[in-house]
Every structure is written in structure tokens, then in C-alpha cells.
Amino acid sequence: MKVGVEYFVGLSAVLFGIGLYGIFIRRSPMIILLSVELVLNAANLALIAFSRYRDDASGQVFALVVMAVAASEVVVGLGLVVAMSRRRAELDVDRLINLRN
Amino acid sequence: METLSFICLLMPLAAVAALALLHTRISRETAAWLGTGFAFASFAAALIVFVGLLGEGAGQREHVYTLYTWAQSSTLTVPFDILVDPLSAIEMLVVSGVGSLIVMYSVGYMHGDPKERRFFAYMNLFLFSMLLLVMAANFVLLLAGWGLVGLSSYLLIGFWHEQQAPVKAAKKAFVMNAVGDVGIAIAIFFMARDIGTTNFHEVFQRGPEVWSKGGTTANLVAFLLLVGAVAKSAQIPLHTWLPDAMEGPTPVSALIHAATMVTAGVYLIARAHPLFENAPDIQSLVALLGVATLLMAGVIALVQTDIKRIIAYSTMSQIGYMFTAVGVSAYSAGMLHLLSHAFFKALLFLGAGIVIHALANEQDVRRMGGLASALPWTTRLMWVGTIALIGIWPFSKDVVLASAYEAHSTTGWIVWVGGLLGAALTGLYATRLMRLVFYGERSEFAREHLHTDHGEAPWTMFWPVAVLGIGTVLAGLLWIGFGVNHAFATFLEEVAPNVEPAVSVEFATTVIAWALGIGGALLVWRLYERPERVAAVRRRFGSLTTLPERKFYWDEAYDLVFYRPAARVACWFNAVLERWVFGGSVTGTAWSVRGIGRWVSDAQTGVVRQYATVFVIGAVAIGAYLLGRSSL
Amino acid sequence: MTVALILIPLAAALIVAFLPLPRRSTEALALGAALAELALGIVALIQFDTAKGVQFAADRLWFGDLVSNADARFSVGMSGLSLFMVLLTSLGVFSAIATAAWIGRARPRAYFSLLLMLEGALVLLFTARDLVLFYTGWEAMMIPLYVLIGVWGGRERRRATFTFFVYTLIGSLLMLVGVAWVGITQGTFELDALQNAGITDAGPFFLFAAAFCIKAPIFPLHGWLPLTYRESPIEVTALLSGVISKAGAYGLLAWALPLFRPVAEDYQWWFAGLALAGLVYGSLVAFRAPDARGVIAYSSLGQMNLIVIGIFALNADGFTGATFQMVNHGVASLAAFLLIGLVELRTGTDLFRWLGGLANRRAALSTVFLFATMFALAVPGSSTFVSELYILLGAFRFEPWLGAAAATGIVLAAMYMLRWYSGIAHETEGERVDPTTPDLRPYELGIAVPLVLVLLAMSAWPSGVMERIVS
């Protein structure tokens, strides 16, 4: 039985929502990064689903691009987190405001 | 003749170049004699040119020689032209002749001065400039000479620039002369615009055609030229620089401020007489300014105590006479007075220089007296000059006054009366000078500091004075039978026509003038014979002397009206306008930019969650917009 | 020929910047390059034929279809005006490099290569016949200036650079809009074509005029002048006053007026009147400025305004006078500032309070200063006098009162220049001057005397220059 596209999109939306919740509510940078990953993957899921259902390859291509971006962003983010923890900085996003103004 | 004219003009310039290039490589004395040599060479050339002119027939004596085109635009060309005619030839002789004598005198006077070489370079620069002025064939070149003469004057007045007074005097002279320069410049603009050229020939011919007689433009042009003349010749109201100019060395005073530069104004008016005749009101103004100046200067001379200043004010007064002459169209009389005045005034100044030199640089007449026995020849020569100055036979300026009377106009009458009064004044102050310096009891100062061990003066100083004395007498001979024989007048006739007063009027005027002059002289003589008479006079008239002693407050007036306001405004501009308004506009811009930046940067809170929120809201908004559009 | 004149300084700049030579060699190399440029300029002068209009031209496609249909071409050539401006530039940069070598600047390779870059940009500006190329030169000129003033300047150099930059940038941006407008509406950027296009729109004229008037500068857009002139290294100030300010006047003469003549005629009174105010204002401020640099800076302001009066007289005398005055004042101003530099070298200051008596027993110094004073003051007989006379005549023909009023500037100039000279040279020696302060050394004479000689030559033969300037 073919699974309808709406199920995939629905799952994607749910994942997206969870990820968004994580970004807004959680304070630890690690968890926020995790949430961002969730959001990105949710988007990927939607892309691939549509690509499959419309027989258009560009969705999958775009998904690959998103994966590449996600990977680089994680590298940078984790690097920052590691650097912060090395300096014994509090891993609390509300306190990390050095970039003010 | 063309080559010789250019040689006359360029010799002094060559002297400047030579002295500048050789400077310390030659001794001071060599430099002095080098400067003198070039000056005499120039005179020799001028003499030959003059003789050449005499040889030519009347009506053929106007020569214009072009060297090259000096400046040009598509609408005005200024050629480097010189004009050799009777008027300029006379001036050439006076300038180079009297000039060389004075330069020679300076060899003795400036001996030992550390900047001696420079002095002779400057003197020659002056000679070149003055020659350029009188030989120019167009107004622009004349203005160039005019300005360069002003420059030389500045350099020479401020020669001893280590001191404050000469520097101030030099600046004052230059700035006042600059006012005159502006006048001539604007007159040039009129000529360029209405006639298309500034060449004398065209301007004098077409000027009266283009500018109607007595009309506004004609008056303006003449008036502007008059401004220049007044500034250069130190007449009222631009006269205040001349007494201060006495800060310069005595030869400078003799050459520039007696014999030549200050007479440039007279030359200008005589040369440009067609333009002045075209503006009769202005010409009357010339005469009136002359009268005013000759009277005021005469009175001031009467109360001066510095020997050079007495002679300076005398110069101012005598030029006033020349102005009255050209103001009543008695051009030949004016020029002859210019000629003889050059001789006797230079004589008086150089003679005064000998006195100053012998008294260790003292210039105050109250510290002199009784010097006739120590300086007999100087005294005699000074008398020659004084007699010439007072106008006793054969010297007479009465032709001028007589011609004025003949005009039967108000101006003419004022000139006549004023001129005669002036004769009295001249008698008074000239005799006072002689009496105070050479006669009576020798002052204590003089007894201590007089040194005539090497004779009255070095020969380099003495002989020029002697030659000037001879020149004065010869010039006097030219005056003889001026009304009847007029060789001089005829020579000048082609350039500047003369006015012929009736013999009876002339005779009467002469008699009155002599009476007044000699009367004044005798009065002073008798007065100073008894010191108590002098004291009595001083008591009675004491209060009256303040006004002339303060030079009628002209300096103070100019300071108040022009100098102080200008300086105030300038200071205000500097302190307020520039600092706050214009400088501030920049800091203002900087502040505002920074302020805006600060305000904008407040949006950067640094809180990630806030960024995220904004981001999401924005994304949703855009998404909604796009969806809305596409569904429509 | 023109291309060579542009490329020599630029190439030299690169070589000087990257070749790791010791100080003396760098200075010699830079000086040599400047001398070569000057020599080439003189060759161009000799070969210049007045009858032929624009000469030594070169033309190549640069950016095709830059804006709508307009091509930007690399088109250069020299008119009489350009020729003299190029000569002025090469003489100025040569003197500046010589002075800098004498004074000794930190990081010489950078300094001299920047000066040479400046020269290249200026020559490009003065010879460009394509509007985009002209604009490139205009902007390119700013970069080395910014660095030169900002790094090697005096105590307030940051503020000075900022001020200078903001003012000029505003003008440049306005001009950029104007350039774009021209390209879009006229379809070409070439000077020859644009001259005959008969443009009558006023807006673009003001855009261009704004940039040029800020650069010149014209009162009241001169706020950047005093600070920048006072804080720059002296030879840069000399170049600013002597050459770069002329770029503004050049822009008016070569670009703004030919393109927008009808507009200029409509607003003639505005510009001439404003310039007259600037002349009087600048002269008065100069009269009471407390420092030697300030006097010449404000004098510069006054003179540039006089040149603009000549330009906006819109007649032959005015143009001839203004152009000649650009050359004259350029050289005179160079001489004056470089002399101030030599004074600053000896005494460490240019404030009149601490100076005085420098002429005592220092013959060379007093004579050279005297020449500079007399030429700056336009004593009748000098070349500056001739150009000033023609400007005033032009102004007079346009409107007699304007000419007469501007003529009073002569008296004011006498007042402030004599004060300048006396303040430095006369009376007793000031606090920072003592009897051991030396007279001009031979090298220093070598910097100053050529400038004086050029001025003397132009005074003796003004028509040599004037006949080559055909408006």
C-alpha cells in the first residue's frame, strides 16, 4: 500500500514543531543544536516526500544540499560549544550575550 | 636708439642678477661699486637717447618699441612695449641720473652694513622698476612697473628688518600702495572693455571718443587713475605711509621718497592727461587735493623734530604743488617742478644724511645746532637746496599759480590763494630747518658726538651732493623766462600741452610769492635769534601745535575705520565661524552618524532566543505572503 | 605619450612598494621616476602644437555596454589645459618626493609608492576623455590620500582624514549619480560627443558641481580644509593645495561647463557671488590665522574661489585667466608649503608665536621666502598678477561691480601675505629660533629654486602659457 504524502508531511511538521520547541525553550546550546538538527531533518523529510510523490529529482538534490549545510553548521556549533566548555563558561544561552551591540 | 632705450631699462635689472648670482663671492665694496656702475651705465644710455630725441624734429619724437607679446587672451593682448618720447625721456634722465648719484652716495653711507650687497641689489631693482613705469607704452605694463616700485620700496624701507619700526612702516607703505594698484587695475578693466586695448596711443585717442566728456565712465576712469596716483604720491587721503617710510636708510628716502617714486603719480596724470581733460571735475579734484595736501603738509612740517620727517613732509607739500599744476593743465610747469624738485629734494635729503652720519645717526633737530662751522660746504649746498625749495629766483612755481588764476574758476582761485599761502609756509619750515640744524648754539649732544675727522663726509657721499647742487642751479636756469622762452615747455609740448598765463598775472603772482616766501624765512630767522622769543611763541601758540604734531589724526582715523574692524572680523571668523560652524559641521556629521549607529545597534541584544524568534516570525510572514500571492 | 604618463608613476609605485631596497635607494628610485615623468611632460610641452586641439590621444574599449547603450572607453588625450595640469602634477610630485626624502618619512617604501600612485591617479584624471575614466581617476586619487594623511599625519590626523573623507565622498557619490544619469540619458560617456549634446537639465549639473565645489573648495563647503591642511604631512599639504584643489577647478572647466553650458549661464550669478564671498572670507581668515600653514591654507581657499569667479565669468578673459592662475597658484602654493616644511623641520612649529627673525643672517632663506611671498601676493609684474588681472577683467566684463569687488582681494592678499612673511622672517628671533638655526642647505635650495625659476619664467613670458590655453 502506498503511504499517502500527507503522512510524511504530517510527520515532518511534528518533527519541525518539536525542534522549534527545543530552540525556543531549552537553554543549553547543545540541546539547541540538537533541535536545529531536528528542524533540518524534518525539512529534509518533507522535501524527499514531495520529490518522491511528484517524481521530481530536484527535491532530493536540495535535500542533499541541506544535509551538507547541516553538517557544516554542526561542526561549527559543536566547536563553539567545546570551546565554551573549555573556558568554563556557563552553557546557558541567556547568559551568552557578548555580541550585544 | 631702440637698443639704447632697452639698455637703459635693462641695465639695472642686469645689476640685480649679477649681484644675486655673485653675492658673497665679491667683497661688499666691489658689490657697491658694481651696483653704482650699472646705474651710471643706465644713465649714459638715457642721456644718449635724450640727445637723440633733441636731434629729431618736432612731431617725430614719439617712438614705440616692441620687445615681444607679454600676455594675451583672445580678447586682450598686452605687448611688452616701451615708449620713448619727450615726457618719458625726461623721466628716464631724472630717474637714472639722480638715481646713480644716490647709489654712489650709498657706497659711503651704507659702508660696513652686513647686508650691503643686498642694498645695492634692491636699489637697482628699484631703478629698473621705475624705468619700466615711465617707459611703459601701455597701462598694464605701467601697472607692472608701478607694483614693482612698490615692492622695491617695501624691501628698502624694511631694510633693517631686525627692528620692529621699519617692518611696520614697510608693510604700511605696501598695503596703501596696493590700494592704488586696485584703482589702476579697475581703470584698466574699463579700457579693456570699452577700447579693447590698454596701449597709450589708442586709449588716449579713442578714450574721449568712447567716453563722453564729463560723463560717469569718463569720471570713473580718471578717478580710478587718480586713486593710484594719490596712493603712490602720498597725497591726501593716502599719505600716511610717507612719514613712516623714513625708517629706511637716508639714500632710500632721497631716491624713492623724494626724487622718483612719489612723483610717479604726477607722471601718470601728465601722461594720461587726455583722460583727465575728458573729466574736468576729476581734474579739479586733482588740483584741490594738491592744495589741501600742500597746506596740511606744510603745517605739519613746521612742528616736526626729526630732520628726515621735516623733509618728508616738505616733499608731500611740494608734490601737492605738482598736483595743482597738472590739475590746472599746466603740465610743463608741473614736470619742470618735478625735475627741479628731484634735484633739490635729493640734495636736501643727502645733505641731511651727511649731518646724521656726522652725528652718529642722530636725527632729532633739537639735538643739533651750530653745525655750520663744522660742515661748511654741506651748509652751503643745503642753502642752495633751501632757496630752490622756497622758490626764490630763479626757481618759481608761480607759473602754476598764475595759470590757475587764469582759469577764472573757483578751483583756480582756491589754488592761487592756497599756493601762495603754501609759499609762506615753505619759507617758514625750510628756514626753520636750516636755522635749527646749522646755526645757533651747538647742543650738548652735538658737542660730544660730532666727528668730522675725515673732513665733512667721505668723498663718495660729498660729491653726489655737490653734483646735485649744480643740477639744482641748472634746473633753475630752465625756469628762467619760463613764461617767455619756454624751451622746456616746447620740448614737452607735443606730449603735454601747456597753459600760458598772461605776463602781468605771472609777474604779480611771482612778486607776491617771493614776498611771502622771503618774509616767512626772515620771520623764522629773527624769531630763533632770541630763545625767549621762541619760548613766547610756544607759550602763545602751544595748544595749536597738538593737531599738526599728531599729524591731524589721520593714522588714528584709518586704524579705527579700516584696520581694527577688519582685524576684528577676521579674528571672529577664525575663532567662531571656522571652529564651530564649519569645523563643527564635520564633528556634527560624525556625531549624528555615530548616534544613528548606536541606536541601530541596540537591536543587537546578543540573546540567541530573541534572534531565533525574530527569524521565525519573519520567515512565517514571508511564507504567508508568498502563499497568499500564489493562491490568488 | 599620455598612456606612458599615466603608467610610469603607477608602475614605479608598484616597484617601489615591493622592491626591498634600503631607504636611500628607495628615495632615489622614487625621485628618479618622478623626474622621468617630469621630463616626459616637458617633451610633451615642446611637442604640443596649439593649432591642433586635443593631442597625444589614445582610445580603447574598456567596458562595453556599461549602462544601457553607453560604452566606457579608455579614452585619454591632452588639451592645453590638461597638458599644463599634468606638468603641474609632475612638478608637484617631484618636489614633494624630494622634500619627503629630505625630511625623512617612516616606512619609505609605502610612503613613496603612495605618492606615485597619487600621481598616476591625477594624471589619469587630467587626461581622461571618458566620463567613467574621469570618475575612476577622481576616486582613485582619494585612496592614497586617505592613507597618507591617516598614517603619516599630525596629532589630529584621524579627525582630519575622517572629515576629508566624508566631505569628498558625499561629493563623489553625488557625481556618481550624475555620471549614471549621463550614461543613461545620453548613451555615451565620451567628452567630445557629450560636449555637443546640448544638455539642458539642471539637476545633473549640480551633482557634478557639488563634487567639484567640495574639492576646490568653494565657500561654504570648505569645512574639511583647515584641519586636513594642518594635519597632513607637509608635502601632502603642498600637493593638496597646489595640485589636487585644481582638480576641482579642472572638473568645472573640462567637464561641467562644456556639458552643461546653458545651465551654468542660468546660475552664473549664484556661483560667482558665492565665490566672491569665499574670496573675501578666505582672505580675512588668512589675515588673522595664527599659524603659517593656516594662512596659506585659507589663502588657497581665497585663490580657488578667485579661479571659480574667473570660470563663471564665462568669457575668454575669465577662462584664460582662471586656467593660467591654476598653474601659477599651483606652483606658488607648492613653494610656500614646502618652505613652511623646511621651517617646521628646523623649529618644529609653524605657529607665529614661536617664530620670527628667520631672515636674520640667513640670506638664502629670506630671499626664497620673499619670492614665494611676492608671487603668492600677485605683485604686479608677476605671473600670478597677470592671471589675476585677466580673471578680474573677465569678471568685470560679466558684471563691473563683481570685478571691482573682487579686485579688493588684491589689498587683502597683500595684508595677509606680508604678515605671513614678517611673522616668519622679520624682527627678532622667536622662541623656537636661535642664531644656530641653519640657512637653506644646497639640497633644500634644489627643491625651492626650480619652483621659483618656473614662476620667474612665467612672469617674464606669460603668453608662453597663455597662447597654449585655448578654451
Domain limits for position C70: 1-266
Residue B600 lies in a domain: yes
Give the Cα separation of C19 and C21 in Å (integer). 6
Q: Please indicate, yes or no, if residue A101 is contained in any of the structural domains.
A: no
Q: Is residue A55 domain-resident? A: yes
Model confidence over C14-42: pLDDT tens digits?
Answer: 988 888 888 888 889 999 999 999 999 99
Task: Please tell me the predicted confidence (pLDDT) of residue B361.
Answer: 80
Instruction: Give kind and range of the element (H or E) at residue C5.
Output: helix C2-18
Residue count of chain A? 101
How would residue B495 be classed by pLDDT, with cut points 50, 70 and 90?
low
Instruction: Check if B606 contacts A (Cβ < 8 Å).
Output: yes
Q: What is the mean pLDDT of residues B386-414?
A: 73
Q: Which helix (DSSP H) or strand (DSSP E) does residue C437 occupy?
A: none
Stronger pLDDT, B478 or C323, i.e. the higher one: C323
Interface partners of chain A (CB pairs < 8 Å, 3 or more) are B
Contacts of B623 (CB under 8 A, 6+ apart): none
pLDDT (mean) for B198-219: 88
Task: Report the pLDDT value the prediction gives residue B581, as an integer from 0 to 100.
Answer: 67
Pair B424, B503 in one domain = yes
The boundaries of the domain holding residue B430 are 308-542
Residues of chain B contacting C414 with CB distance shorter than 8 Å: 174-175, 178
Mean of the pLDDT values across residues C215-235? 88
Cα B283 versus chain centre, distance: 20
Distance (Å, whole) CA B310 – CA B432: 10
- B148: Cβ–Cβ under 8 A, 6 or more apart, which residues? B125, B128, B129, B132, B133, C379, C380, C381
The whole-number pLDDT of residue B452 equals: 67
User: A99 and B609: CB-CB below 8 Å?
Assistant: no
Residues B495 and B614 in one domain: no
Residue A30 falls within a domain, yes or no? yes
Mean pLDDT of chain C: 89
pLDDT at B407: 65
Last residue of a domain, one of B512, B542, B572: B542
- The reply to whether B268 falls in a domain is no
Query: What's the pLDDT at B394?
Result: 61
User: In this structure, is the dihedral angle defined by the CA atoms of residues B332, B333, B339 and B342, taken in order, positive or negative?
Assistant: negative
Please compute the mean of the pLDDT values over residues C317-336 and round it to a whole number. Answer: 94
Residue B519 is predicted with a pLDDT of: 84
Give the Cα separation of C350 and C230 in Å (integer): 10
| C242 and C273 housed in the same domain | no
Q: Indicate if B564 and B500 belong to the same structural domain.
A: no
pLDDT at C413: 93
**Above 50 in pLDDT, residue B22?**
yes
- Based on the fold, state whether residues B381 and B529 are members of the same structural domain: yes
CATH of residue A14's domain is 1.10.287.3510
Instruction: Copy the grid coordinates of residue B597.
Output: 549607529
Single out the residue in B542, B577, B601 at which a domain terminates.
Answer: B542
Which residues of chain A make contact with B613, given a CB cutoff of 8 A?
24
Q: How many of the other CB atoms lie within 10 Å of CB of C134? A: 25
Note whether B599 contacts A: Cβ–Cβ < 8 A: no
Compute the distance between CA of residue B613 and CA of residue B615 in angstroms, rounded to an integer: 5
Does the residue B270 lie in any domain?
Answer: no
- Look over chain B and give the mean of its residue pLDDT values, rounded to a whole number: 84
How confident is the model at residue B485, as a pLDDT? 41
C-beta separation of B437 from B369 below 8 A: yes
Please give the tally of structural domains in chain B.
2
> Chain A: residue nearest B602 by CA?
A101
Does the residue B129 lie in any domain?
A: no
B328 and B351 assigned to the same domain: yes
Nearest-by-CA chain C residue for B115? C361
Residue B385 predicted with pLDDT over 80: yes
Q: Do B573 and C281 touch (CB under 8 A)?
A: yes
pLDDT of residue B41: 93
B599 or B170: which leads in pLDDT: B170
Q: What is the DSSP letter of B577?
A: I
Contact assignment for B167 to C426 by CB distance below 8 Å: yes
Question: Most B CBs within 10 Å: which of C367, C375, C385, C461, as the mutation test of the B interface?
Answer: C385
Tell whether C66 and C11 lie within a shared domain.
Answer: yes
Residue carrying the nine cell digits 627643491: C447
Judged by average pLDDT, the poorest of B475-484, B535-544, C454-463 is B475-484
Interface of A with B (CB under 8 A): 20, 23-24, 32, 93-94, 96-101
CA distance B301 to B552: 12
C218, C312: one domain: no
Overall number of domains in chain A: 1
**Smallest CA–CA distance from B611 into chain A, residue:** A24
* Torsion sign over Cα B201, B207, B209, B210: positive
pLDDT interval class at B484 (50, 70, 90): very low
The Cα C409–Cα C405 span in angstroms is: 8
Per DSSP, the residues of B452-481 read -TTSSS-HHHHHHHHHHHHHHHHHHHHHTT
Number of structural domains chain C divides into: 2
Q: Is the pLDDT of residue C3 over 80?
A: yes
B610 in contact with A at a CB cutoff of 8 Å?
no
Asked whether A and C share 3 or more beta-carbon pairs under 8 angstroms, the answer is no
> Are C and B neighbours with ≥3 CB pairs closer than 8 A?
yes
Å from B187 to nearest chain C CA?
10
In this structure, is residue B387 part of a structural domain?
yes
Residues C222, C289 within the same domain: no
Q: Is B245 within the bounds of a domain?
A: no
d(CA B83, CA B131): 11
For the beta carbon of residue C439, count every other beta carbon within 10 angstroms: 15
Residues of B in contact with A94 (CB under 8 A): 607, 609
Q: Which of C266, C297, C321 is the last residue of a domain?
A: C266
The mean per-residue pLDDT over the stretch C327-351 comes to 92
C-beta atoms of A94 and B609 within 8 A: yes
End position of a domain, from candidates C224, C243, C266: C266
Which tens digit of pLDDT belongs to each residue from A34-85?
999 999 999 999 999 999 888 888 889 999 999 999 999 999 999 988 888 8
B610: closest chain A residue by CA: A24
Q: Clarify whether residues B517 and B622 are in a common domain.
A: no
Under the banding of pLDDT at 50, 70 and 90, the label for residue B225 is: very high
Structural domain span for residue A39: 5-95
What is the residue type of C116? L
Nearest to B438 by CA among B333, B352, B362: B352
| Least reliable range by pLDDT among B223-227, B533-537, C344-348 | B533-537
Closest CA to C157 of C229, C210, C100: C229
Q: Of C220, C363, C404, which has the smallest distance from its Cβ to B23's Cβ?
A: C363
Residue A100 lies in a domain: no
Per cent of chain C over pLDDT 90 is 49
CA-based nearest residue to B264, from C408, C390, C380, C456? C380
Determine the straight-line distance between the first and last CA of chain A, rounded to whole angstroms: 56
Write out chain B residues lying below 8 Å of A101, CB-based: 598, 601-602, 604, 606
Determine whether the interchain pair C226/B189 forms a contact, defined as Cβ–Cβ distance below 8 Å.
Answer: no
Does residue B508 share a domain with residue B415?
A: yes
Cis peptide before C220 (omega within 30 of 0): yes
Partner residue facing B586 (CB), from C224, C288, C317: C224
Q: Do B182 and C389 touch (CB under 8 A)?
A: no
Same domain, B533 and B618: no
pTM for the whole structure: 0.86
For residue B608, what is the nearest residue in chain A, using CA coordinates?
A93
Confidence of residue B560 (pLDDT cuts 50, 70, 90): confident
ipTM value of the model? 0.91
pLDDT(B482) > 60: no
Assess whether C196 and C271 both reside in one domain: no
C449 Cβ contact partners less than 8 Å away, ≥ 6 residues apart: C368
Q: What percent of chain B has pLDDT over 90?
A: 27
DSSP readout, B318-373?
HHHHHHHHHHTT-HHHHHHHHHHHHHHHHHHHHHHHHHHHHTTT--BGGG----TT
Q: What is the mean pLDDT of residues B263-279?
A: 90
DSSP-assigned letters across all residues of B223-245 = HHHHHHHHHHHT-TTS-THHHHG
Q: Nearest residue of B to residue C414 by CA position?
A: B175
User: Do B452 and B488 sit in the same domain of this protein?
Assistant: yes
Spatial distance between the Cα atoms of B273 and B187, rounded to a whole number of angstroms: 14
What residues of chain B lie within 8 A of the CB of A100, using their CB?
Answer: 604-606
**Is residue B514 within 8 angstroms of chain C, CB to CB?**
no
Q: How far is B511 from chain C (nearest CA, A)?
A: 46
CB B378 within 8 A of CB B355: yes
* Same domain? C223 vs C286: no
Residues C272 and C179 in one domain: no
pLDDT-derived band at C1 (thresholds 50, 70, 90) equals confident
Domain edge (last residue) among B492, B509, B542: B542
- For residues B562 and B538, membership in a common domain is answered with no
Alpha carbon distances (Å) from B116 to B28, B29, B111, B252, B551:
6, 8, 7, 13, 33
What's the first-to-final CA gap in chain B, in angstroms? 104
Residue C234: predicted pLDDT: 93
Distance CA B613, CA C65 (A): 45
Please answer whether residues B394 and B387 qualify as being in contact, where contact means their C-beta atoms are separated by less than 8 angstroms.
Answer: no
Of residues C355 and B56, more confidence is placed in: C355
Q: Name the percent of chain C in helix, strand, coil, to the closest 5.
A: 75, 5, 20
Amino acid at A61: V
pLDDT at B512: 81
Q: Above 70 in pLDDT, residue C67?
A: no
CA A39/CA A42 separation, integer angstroms: 5
